A and B are shown apart, each in its own frame.
Chain A
Amino acid sequence: MSFKQYKYCSMCKLNNNLGKKHVYSKRHQIVLNNILQKFETKIVHAKSTLFSPDVQDAGFESGAKFWCYFCQIEASKHVVSEDCTVLGSGLLHHISSDEHRASMDQFFWDNLVKKERRPKFILTPADLTIFEKSSFLAVKKYQKAKTEEIKQLAATLSASEHLRCQRLTESMQAEQGTSNVNQSHFATSVGNQSAWDSSQSVTQKPKRTIMAHAEGLACVSQAGPPGEGNVHSGALPPWLQTESDGLRTEIGPTAADFTKHLEQKKKAKLPAGRVGANFDHSDSVSHDWLPSFGRVWSKGRRLQSKQHFEKEWKKGGGSLNKKYSSTITSIVKDNSDEHLPLNTSQKPASAVTSCGGIVPYKRKLEPAASKINTDWSGSGQYTNQMFPYRTSAASTANQNAGYKNVTDFNAVNRSALGDSVLTETRIESSSNFITDSTAVPYKRKRIREDNPASVHLIQTPILSLDPHTITK
């Protein structure tokens, strides 16, 4: 038994290893017969129209195709020209082609079909020419018929239009003799304004109903201005009248409104509990407005502090008054021997001093320092004893919880010291203060016992009450 390769029979849709013998199998024969019968009927049907082809309009069975079993291709059944189709023409053309003939021969050979059946699946060239001629004639006939039809349709339409117009003119004449009833039977062509006027051609005077009565109906009557036109007079309808008042051409928000809206939207996203959320940023504010400020030393409400300040300000006549500053430099007794630790100045402008002049942490005040100190006090000698931070009775006088005398220069004026002297010295002294940029007072933590000569230095406040320094 030799091995035979499995082959696929596309008609039976079956793999078999019988080779050529498969054609003789019962199944295959049945399938073959079916196929041939089907195809034959199609071709016979198409051939029947050989002498009188069927012509339809262009969209008839568009895209209709048939499967040629021999060629194994799909071809279109009908042929479409510009305004019509000839049914079956495509099929017949394919049948008459050489490729089809060749494939048919091959098919018949493979499947052992008798030769007698061949001519049924073929169209001879002679027959084809006959078909073409007859189809040409048929197409012509069809086109003619179509134009006829269109003409007829047009005729009927025009006839009906004419009739309508006639009836209209009749009704217009009839209207003259009747009462004032709206003739809306015939739908007039409400095209444009001119149509209005022309259709309602003012043959008689325009009228307006002044009284109406009906049983069971409420009467609605409005007496408008006598000059006003209405439907009957052919006046311009209200919706075509341009606006006389109110909105101008623009509608909607302005650009400013829009940007404001956007900003508001952004703000709405911020937390509602934030400081000053309900602060009205509007412009209207008096000249004397001051922000809410919780003062340095005060406890209690900020409003109180503001009121307090306003009082002071008024008292002081609206000017800077030293006496009422809450933060002061030092309260000094009138003792002339007392050395003022700090400068005093009458000029309000220089009331505030640079705190850069305060603390030269980095280096000690050498002889230059003593010079500075003398400038301050205005007296020549300067000793430990006289150093205000230690010795001044003033410091005891206004001692507060361990704060020593201030290094702030807003002192009350001392009569002992001339103003002019002080102001001069002050200006000088400022120049004697730290001049080089390296003396930044952050670098080193100052330790008290660091330097034995530290007595000359301005000490930092020590919050712990050191009985030592206080009493001195």
Chain B
Amino acid sequence: MASYLLPCLTTKHEVDNVIRHTEEVVLVLRFGRDDDHVCLQLDNILAKAVDDLAKMAKIYAVNVDHVPVYTRYFDITLIPATIFFFNAQHMKVDWGTADHTKFIGTFKCKQDFIDVVEVIFRGAMKGKLMVQSPLDPTSLQKYELVYKEI
């Protein structure tokens, strides 16, 4: 497990604990693989922002291969996928893309990420489960998703 940039979570139990016991701060879970280059890019940005956001957020990296339950539950199909929680409640963000439940891809710069976390934090403090993203939609990773009725 190479990730010396961010704390890693390897089992479902660990992820559960982290989600349940992070109190009053935004919990950022990056789902991806350690050796994937886009994930590494994102990890770099997240690691740089850890100190700046210390009072607002806690950031962890999760390997998708090790927690298939969550991979399925959160419907993670593209990596890196970043999911935000607050007090064990999942926070949705309207990025202007199809999927509001997670952030797919990497951020353009550290400040973008900080802005996102701040918006989420403020929204959470006000009791909103869904917030509007401050990022420029053109700077986001574009992707396509197709769904199928199960």
Contacts and interface: CB of A to CB of B under 8 A. Distances in A.
Given A267-B24, A408-B143, A408-B146, 11 more contacts: A294-B129, A296-B101, A320-B72, A327-B75, A354-B33, A355-B38, A356-B105, A358-B143, A398-B148, A404-B146, A407-B144
Classify the secondary structure of A's interface with B: loop
A433 B37 CA distance: 11
B150 A274 contact: no
Nearest to B140: A442
A252 B99 CA distance: 53
A410 interface: yes
Contacts of B91: 275
Given A270-B24, A291-B19, A352 B89 contact: no
Given A274-B127, A348-B68, A355-B38, A292 B150 contact: no
B73 A445 contact: no
A400 B147 contact: yes
A5 B119 CA distance: 88
Q: Say which size band chain A's interface belongs to.
A: 35 or more
Interface stretch (B2-10, B48-56, B76-84): B76-84
B28 interface: no
A398 B147 CA distance: 8
B38 A356 contact: yes
B108 A442 contact: yes
B23 to A, nearest CB: 6
Interface stretch (A167-175, A237-245, A277-285): A277-285
A279 B79 contact: no
Interface in B1-56: 13, 16, 19-21, 23-24, 31-33, 36-39, 41
Contact of B38 (A287, A302, A313, A354): A354
Contacts of A410: 77
Given A275-B124, A281-B23, A327 B147 contact: yes
List of 7 A-B pairs having minimum Cβ-Cβ separation, nearest first: A276-B87, A356-B38, A355-B78, A273-B127, A275-B124, A276-B89, A406-B146
Interface of B: 13, 16, 19-21, 23-24, 31-33, 36-39, 41, 64-65, 68-80, 85-92, 98-102, 104-105, 108, 123-129, 138-148, 150
A274 B72 contact: no
A295 interface: yes
A291 B150 contact: no
B150 A355 contact: no
A464 to B, nearest CB: 14
Given A281-B20, A327-B146, A354 B85 contact: no
Given A326-B148, A359-B142, A313 B69 contact: yes
Contacts of A351: 71, 77
